[in-house]
Amino acid sequence: MSVKEKCMCGNKKCDSKVAPGNTGMFSDKSLKFYEDPLTFIQAQTETYNTRVFMARLALKPTLVIADHALVAHFLESCSADFHNGLRDNFSELFGDSILFADEEKALQLREVLMPLFDQKYFSNSSENLKILLEDWYSDLDLSNEINFYEEFKNLALIYNLEVFLGLNHKDDLELMRDYMSSSKEHWHGVLSLPFHISLPVWGNTGYSRAMDAKGRLQTIIRERLRTNSSAFVDQLNDNNNIMQEESVCDHLLLFTCALIPKAVGAILSVVLEVSWYWTPLLDAAGNIHNDHLEHMLLEVTRLYPPFIGGIRVADVDTRVGEYHVRKGTTVHFSLLGCMRDPARFPDPDTFRPERWSKKADPLLGREDMLGFGSGAHACVGRSFSWEIIKEMTRFTMKTFSLNPTLPDSFPKVKFLPCLRPLTPTLFKPSPRINPSNQTKE
């Protein structure tokens, strides 16, 4: 079927803009997409000379959007007519949370949750993060090469457990280990078929094991709520008038699952891969100007967003910009593609942190950074996560001396389920200065 023949609404006389592409039964491009989403997007945009096109993905006709302006519009203005495509298969895995809520419910939940992520609520937590980093450093074996992706990912999860469940990385070590182990198994359910089956030879499916892990995690969460709730939960209970206990548990599961730590670890591992850029910007003590840090992190997230995009399914016949979208049609908004849209980011494939400077482009601002989403389903913890990333980056810069990588030595990328270097560079850093201003021998 050639979508050039008629609009998706089915009306041959409709004058709506038609996205080019092939959605025929035997034209599925899922394999090429999942092998390398960026190459797929770039190839299709060159073939059709547009950043909006049709393709058959996961056996479904899909409108792919890699145009920055249209992705921003879609996220800000179209969510009422769509639901998260992952909800159809994985809502059971994460429960009743803002992740799968419709627009009206998502906006209500944002009113409750957003104030809790305000910086004033995390002033004490910021000090706890510094303590956590200092303790991690003191236990780190610098005689061996370090996989900082794994280290940062684990640190971010530990910190989330402290913030959201009130655990302590010293006093509750065993409980943290149990939670982290179950969290890893729970996350692997995202990569599994959503069926509860047991095969005689292979045993339970990954999804079934993930659901078992979810049960263990929820047991820990409910026990913490009964005995030692965190400051975050106390604030939530004081300001919450729409969330029942089950919804609170599901949101705490979301905030303490492996999703956020993987994103933090992914961004920070890429930061180390561009150490050739920031090493010359450090002073003798390893400090970096906040503007340089901010611009670098924005550029890292632009080129390598932790999550490459999202899937939405139309609940009604609707429109996305100039395009008709029929009920049941899938829309893939590509954060990976739109953040390399040359119409918004000239020379898009080049790492240029200075592009975020107001002097370089007065019209480019943080609102153009769609790596954390936008609209009703934008990440509620964006500012919180951003501060964690900045604090961990500063700590790393002040604590370690790294042999800078070369500008042309960036490793191959693994896109799914979370974008990161396929094989992160292993570093054997030398200590610059430890947090107590004493050299670590």
pLDDT at 441 over 70: no
Q: Which two tokens stand for residue 367?
A: 């609102």
Highest mean pLDDT of the ranges 60-74, 187-201, 415-429: 60-74
Whether the CA torsion 405, 290, 127, 264 is positive or negative: it is: negative
CB neighbour class for 227 (10 Å; exposed up to 12, middle 13-18, buried from 19): exposed
- Secondary structure (DSSP) of 5-45: SS-TTS-TT--SB---EE--TT-B-HHHHHH-HHHHHHHHH
Mean pLDDT of 361-381: 88
Q: Return the minimum-mean-pLDDT range out of 20-24, 88-92, 398-402.
A: 88-92
pLDDT at 4 over 60: no
pLDDT of amino acid 352: 95
pLDDT at 265 over 90: yes
Q: How far is 72 from 374, CA to CA, in rounded Å? A: 7
pLDDT at 2 over 50: no
Average pLDDT, the chain: 88
Residue 400 phi/psi, 5-degree rounding, is: -115, 145
pLDDT of amino acid 272: 93
Residue 314 phi/psi, 5-degree rounding, is: -70, 125
Q: How far is 104 from 98, CA to CA, in rounded Å? A: 10
pLDDT of amino acid 7: 67
pLDDT at 435 over 80: no
pLDDT at 125 over 80: no
pLDDT of amino acid 8: 67
Q: How far is 400 from 431, CA to CA, in rounded Å? A: 5
Mean pLDDT of 15-38: 89
pLDDT of amino acid 234: 87
pLDDT of amino acid 205: 62
- The answer to whether residues 333 and 310 touch, using CB atoms and an 8 Å cutoff, is yes
pLDDT of amino acid 330: 95
Q: How far is 52 from 102, CA to CA, in rounded Å? A: 25
CA neighbor of 160 nearest in space, from 234, 229, 252: 252
pLDDT of amino acid 433: 62
pLDDT of amino acid 124: 64
pLDDT in tens, 185-244: 998 877 655 544 444 433 456 788 899 999 999 999 999 999 877 888 888 888 788 898
pLDDT of amino acid 200: 41
Q: Which two tokens stand for residue 381?
A: 């913890």
pLDDT of amino acid 6: 60
CA neighbor of 89 nearest in space, from 210, 233, 251: 210
Domain 89-304+360-431 has CATH 1.10.150.20: no
Q: Would you kindly state where each structural domain of the chain is located, as residue ranges?
A: 89-304+360-431
CB neighbour class for 280 (10 Å; exposed up to 12, middle 13-18, buried from 19): exposed
Mean pLDDT of 95-120: 89
Express as a percent the part of the chain with pLDDT over 70.
90
